[in-house]
Amino acid sequence: MQFENYLKIFINNKQNNFYKMLKINRLLFLIVFCGLSIISHAQSKITLDEAIEIALSESNTIKIADMTIEKTGYAKKGAYSALYPNINASGSYQRTLKKQVMAMEMAGQAMEIEVGMSNNVSAGITAAMPLINAQLWQSLKLSALDVELAVEQARSSRISMVSQVKQAFYSVLLAKEAYNVYKEVYDNAQNNFEDIEKKYNVGKASEFEYLRAKVNVNNAEPEVFSAENAVTLTIWQLKAIMGIDLATELDVEGSLSDYANEMVASLASNESISFENNTNLLQLQLQDEMLSRTIKMTKFQYIPTLSAQFSYNYMALGNTFDMNWNPYSMVALSLNIPIFDGFLKRNNIRQYQKTQDILRLNIEDVERNLNIAMENYRNEMNTSVKRYTAAETTLEMAQKSYDISQKMYEVGKATLVELNDAQLALTQAQLTMSQAIYQYMTNKAAIDELMGVEYVKETNNDNQ
């Protein structure tokens, strides 16, 4: 009997220590959660449109694209300068240190005469411009295509940026939905544990039920912290894509359920698919046109060129600076007729033609890959809609099943295992719905990027 009393005292001490640790863990969790709630209220919340606008104005990728357009614009203007006269002014001064001696024979006698003046000054203006140069005119058209390509590349950067911001924004919403689900699971597990603890203390619950409820709480708690870290990480990724400081306090508005109506409406829609605005195809087509211009420009090198020159100069010579200035001027035409260059132009033309053939084969491959990617995205979107529809029905039944199981457990007609199974089914249904919406919206953003859809802010957006 004495040994049994000691054993009971030992077990009671262990249980008291266990209760104390449980209360400390709960207190720490509440302190952390409340602190994070206060911080979240202090954060500024932004909508999807606001996030996109910030990214389009602050991202270095967009700034670099705009600078590239400006740079190619300057290059185009520089190419057009070849059409204008090239005017230069020049001047020179020469001081003769030792005059040149010229020897000659006059009347049978040798004579040496110094030639030149001590000071030689000249100044003048020269001008030249092309009159006929077909190669130059083609190079100007090629410069214009360079600007178009830079503009299309900048548009590509914007479309890609919008797609990245959308997907990052949806990732934040998914992480927040997962956090809310796991937090709800933890709260339910905690409430069940508190009820069982009371019953266990008065002998109405077994030790197995008590320990099982405690295990559920301990299992649910790490999931909450993991989901909370996922929210923080996805927000950091969103801020990095937007091009803002990672230390900026930021949160997002809305939830994935706001986009549910858009999913359902897509079932009845039959949108046409077109890649005519796909930025990759447009860039390849511009490169193809640039190669055609390059080939034509190379062929025009066989055509003679004609240019005009004009010069007006003054020259003065004298041993002192009291000199007379003598003007002289000149006008000239220069004709250049190419005859033979060792087949250089012909080989260059063939090289450009082969490069163009390779580019056109690449364009065909890109079109095929775009169709494959589009079909894949559309299938995933349809699957997401079906998964959401099924999960919506399942969620309603799972919620009802969990409510019934909880009430039956409270009156002792259901076991804790049955209650946990109902909780698990409910959690899976909630997460499946959120994941279905997330996958649908991210695939839709990818399709918009494939089709080259440019971002337009919606003034009346019911989903935001």
Segment holding 106, helix H or strand E:
strand 100-106
Does 333 share its domain with 430? no
Residues 352 and 298 grouped into a single domain = yes
pLDDT tens, position by position, 186-197: 888 888 888 888
Q: Is residue 97 part of a domain?
A: yes
Q: Please check whether residues 180 and 297 belong to one and the same domain.
A: yes
Residue 448: how many CA atoms within 13 Å on its side-chain side?
A: 20
Reduce the DSSP state of residue 33 to 3 states and report it: helix
- Whether 92 shows a pLDDT value over 70: the answer reads yes
Give the lowest-confidence range in 13-17, 203-207, 410-414.
13-17
**Domain stop point among 337, 360, 394:** 337
| 328 found inside a domain | yes
β-bridge pairing 44-46 and 250-252: parallel
Residue 329 CB contacts under 8 Å (≥ 6 apart), including other chains: 310, 311, 312, 313
Q: pLDDT confidence of 39, banded at 50, 70, 90?
A: very low
The amino acid that residue 350 corresponds to is: R
Residue 60 within a domain = yes
Looking at the structure of the chain, the number of domains it has is 2
* One domain, residues 175 and 313: no
Helix (H, G, I), strand (E, B) or coil at 304: coil
Question: Do 318 and 179 sit in the same domain of this protein?
Answer: no
Residue 456, domain member (yes or no): no
Whether 227 and 346 map to the same domain: the answer is yes
Do 100 and 183 belong together in one domain?
A: no
Residue 419 pLDDT more than 50?
yes
Please write the tens of the pLDDT for every residue from 401-413.
888 887 887 777 7
Do 321 and 174 share a structural domain?
Answer: no
**Domain shared by 424 and 358, yes or no:** yes
Q: Does the reported pTM lie above 0.85?
A: no
pLDDT in tens, 332-341: 999 999 999 8
- What pLDDT does residue 398 have? 83
pLDDT score, position 401: 84
Separation between Cα atoms, residue 436 and residue 446, nearest integer Å: 15
Q: What DSSP string runs through 383-446?
A: HHHHHHHHHHHHHHHHHHHHHHHHHHHHTTSS-HHHHHHHHHHHHHHHHHHHHHHHHHHHHHHH
385 part of a folded domain: yes
| Same domain as 329, residue 353 | no
Give the pLDDT band of residue 22 (cuts 50, 70, 90): very low
Are 189 and 100 in contact by the 8 Å Cβ rule? The answer is: no
pLDDT of residue 268: 54
User: What value does the mean pLDDT take over residues 35-57?
Assistant: 72
For residue 144, tell me if it sits in a domain: yes
Count, residues in the chain: 464
Asked whether residue 5 carries a pLDDT value surpassing 70, the answer given is no
Classify residue 14: in a domain, yes or no: no
**Alpha-carbon distance 188 to 410, whole Å?**
13
- CATH number, domain of 232, equals 1.20.1600.10
| Average pLDDT rounded to a whole number, residues 379-383 | 90
Is residue 33 in a domain?
A: no
Residue 324 confidence (pLDDT): 85
The token pair that represents 336 in the structure block: 């250049």
Mean pLDDT confidence for 198-223:
85
User: Do residue 47 and residue 74 come from a single domain?
Assistant: yes
Domain extent at residue 98: 84-132+304-337
The tens digit of pLDDT for each residue in 341-357 reads 899 999 999 999 999 99
* Judgement on whether residues 52 and 183 belong to the same structural domain of the protein: yes
